[in-house]
Chain A
Amino acid sequence: MKTFALLGNPNCGKTTLYNSLTGSTAHVGNWPGVTVEKRTGVYKKGSEQVEIIDLPGIYSLSPYTSEEVVSRNYILDEHPDCVINIIDATNLERNLYLTTQALEIDVPMIIALNMMDEVKKRGQNIDSKKLEKELGVPVVEISALKEEGIDLLMSRAIEVSNKKRDGKTVIKNNDLLHLIGDIKIAYKGMNVVNPLFHAIKLIEKDEIEVEMHASLLPMVNEFEKTFNDEMFGNDFEALIADARYNYISESFKDVVANSSNQKSSDEKLTKSDKIDKVLTNKWAGIPIFLAILFVIFHLVFSENLFFLGRLFENVTPSFAGTAYEGLIWSETGIASPGVFLQSLVTNTTDLLSDLVAEGLSNAPNWIQGFVVDGALGGLFAVASFIPQILLLFLFFAILEDSGYMARVAFILDRIFRKFGLSGRAFMPMIMGFGCSVPAMINTRTLASEQEKDATIKVIPFFSCGAKLPILTAIAGAIVEFFNVGNADLITYSMYILGMVTAIVTVIIMRNTTKRGKVSPFIMELPSYHLPQFKSLMIHLWDKLKHFIKKAFTIILASTIVIWFLSSFKWNFSMCSELYDGSGEFVGYNISESILHSIGSFIQPIFTPLGFGSQLGKYGWVFVVAAITGLIAKENVIATFGVLAASLIASGALSGNPGAIIGDESGISSTISMIQATGITVPGLLAFIAFNMTTIPCFAAVATAKSESIKGQFKWTLLFWIVTSLIVSSLVYVICTWWWTMFIAIFVAFIVGFVIYKYNKSHPANNELA
Chain B
Amino acid sequence: MLKKLVDFQIGETGQIKKVEGEGKLRRRLFDMGVTPGAVVTLRKKAPLGDPIEVNIRGYELTLRKSEASLVTLEMEESNQ
Contact with B along A392-416 (1 / 0, CB 8 A): 0000000000000010001101110
Pairwise interchain contact A522-B29, C-beta atoms closer than 8 A? yes
Q: Which of B36-68 contact A (CB under 8 A)?
A: 36-39, 41, 44-51, 53, 55, 57-64, 67
Pairwise interchain contact B64-A768, C-beta atoms closer than 8 A? no
Contact with B along A271-303 (1 / 0, CB 8 A): 000001000111101100000000000000000
Q: Which residues of chain A have C-beta atoms less than 8 A from B69's C-beta?
A: none
Number of cross-chain contacts by CB at 8 Å: 129
Q: Which residues of chain B have C-beta atoms less than 8 A from A262's C-beta?
A: 58
Q: Which of A239-286 contact B (CB under 8 A)?
A: 241-242, 245-246, 256, 259-260, 262-264, 276, 280-283, 285-286
Chain A: CB-nearest residue to B32 = A522
User: Is residue A634 within 8 Å, beta carbon to beta carbon, of the partner chain?
Assistant: no
Which residues of B are at the interface with A, using a C-beta cutoff of 8 A? 13, 19, 23-39, 41, 44-51, 53, 55, 57-64, 67
Q: Which residues of chain A have C-beta atoms less than 8 A from B49's C-beta?
A: 414
Pairwise interchain contact A280-B44, C-beta atoms closer than 8 A? yes
Pairwise interchain contact A94-B23, C-beta atoms closer than 8 A? no
User: Is residue A93 within 8 Å, beta carbon to beta carbon, of the partner chain?
Assistant: yes
Q: A264-B55, A280-B44 are in contact. Are A241 and B24 (CB under 8 A)?
A: no
Contact of A237 among B30, B34, B38, B57 (CB under 8 A): B30
Contact of B35 among A91, A241, A527, A768 (CB under 8 A): A241
A-B pairs with lowest CB-CB distance, top 4: A260-B58, A241-B30, A60-B31, A414-B48
Taking the closest CB of chain A, its distance from the CB of B52, in whole angstroms, is 9
Q: Which residues of chain A have C-beta atoms less than 8 A from B33's C-beta?
A: 93-94, 97, 245
Taking the closest CB of chain B, its distance from the CB of A667, in whole angstroms, is 43
Q: Which residues of chain B have C-beta atoms less than 8 A from A410's C-beta?
A: 46, 51, 53, 62
Pairwise interchain contact B35-A524, C-beta atoms closer than 8 A? no
User: What is the size category of the interface that chain A forms with chain B?
Assistant: 35 or more
Give the distance in Å from the alpha carbon of A64 to the alpha carbon of B29 in the complex.
11
Pairwise interchain contact A767-B28, C-beta atoms closer than 8 A? no
Q: A241-B35, A245-B38, A522-B32 are in contact. Are A93 and B67 (CB under 8 A)?
A: no
Q: Which residues of chain A have C-beta atoms less than 8 A from B27's C-beta?
A: 62, 64, 237
Q: A94-B33, A237-B27, A522-B28 are in contact. Are A263 and B48 (CB under 8 A)?
A: no
| Best-surrounded residue of A232, A417, A522, A527 (most CB of chain B within 10 A) | A522
User: Is residue A521 within 8 Å, beta carbon to beta carbon, of the partner chain?
Assistant: yes
Pairwise interchain contact A245-B35, C-beta atoms closer than 8 A? yes
Q: Which of A43-75 contact B (CB under 8 A)?
A: 59-60, 62, 64
Give the distance in Å from the alpha carbon of A41 to the alpha carbon of B11 in the complex.
46
Give the distance in Å from the alpha carbon of A285 to the alpha carbon of B45 in the complex.
11
Give the distance in Å from the alpha carbon of A259 to the alpha carbon of B51 in the complex.
26
Chain A: CB-nearest residue to B68 = A522
Pairwise interchain contact A520-B46, C-beta atoms closer than 8 A? no
Pairwise interchain contact A231-B36, C-beta atoms closer than 8 A? yes
Q: Which of A568-606 contact B (CB under 8 A)?
A: none
Q: Which residues of chain A have C-beta atoms less than 8 A from B35's C-beta?
A: 238, 241-242, 245
Q: Which residues of chain B have C-beta atoms less than 8 A from A59's C-beta?
A: 31-32
Q: Which residues of chain A have C-beta atoms less than 8 A from B50's C-beta?
A: 413-414
Pairwise interchain contact B25-A768, C-beta atoms closer than 8 A? yes
Pairwise interchain contact A524-B53, C-beta atoms closer than 8 A? no
Q: Which residues of chain B have C-beta atoms less than 8 A from A286's C-beta?
A: 47
Give the distance in Å from the alpha carbon of A509 to the alpha carbon of B52 in the complex.
28
Pairwise interchain contact A520-B64, C-beta atoms closer than 8 A? yes
Give the distance in Å from the alpha carbon of A280 to the alpha carbon of B47 in the complex.
7
Give the distance in Å from the alpha carbon of A231 to the alpha carbon of B57 in the complex.
20
Q: A238-B36, A767-B23 are in contact. Are A525 and B53 (CB under 8 A)?
A: yes
Q: Which residues of chain B have C-beta atoms less than 8 A from A280's C-beta?
A: 44, 46-47, 53
User: Is residue A523 within 8 Å, beta carbon to beta carbon, of the partner chain?
Assistant: yes
Contact of A413 among B36, B57, B64 (CB under 8 A): B64
Give the distance in Å from the alpha carbon of A62 to the alpha carbon of B58 in the complex.
22
Give the distance in Å from the alpha carbon of A64 to the alpha carbon of B30 in the complex.
12
Contact of A259 among B28, B44, B58 (CB under 8 A): B58
Taking the closest CB of chain B, its distance from the CB of A361, in whole angstroms, is 63
Pairwise interchain contact A91-B59, C-beta atoms closer than 8 A? yes
Give the distance in Å from the alpha carbon of A258 to the alpha carbon of B60 in the complex.
16
Give the distance in Å from the alpha carbon of A410 to the alpha carbon of B46 in the complex.
6
Pairwise interchain contact B51-A521, C-beta atoms closer than 8 A? yes
| Best-surrounded residue of B23, B57, B63 (most CB of chain A within 10 A) | B57
Taking the closest CB of chain A, its distance from the CB of B75, in whole angstroms, is 15
Chain B: CB-nearest residue to A91 = B59
Chain A: CB-nearest residue to B41 = A264
Chain B: CB-nearest residue to A768 = B24
14 CB < 8 A contacts A-B: A90-B58, A93-B57, A94-B59, A97-B31, A238-B26, A264-B55, A280-B53, A282-B45, A406-B62, A414-B48, A521-B64, A522-B67, A524-B60, A527-B60
Taking the closest CB of chain A, its distance from the CB of B45, in whole angstroms, is 8
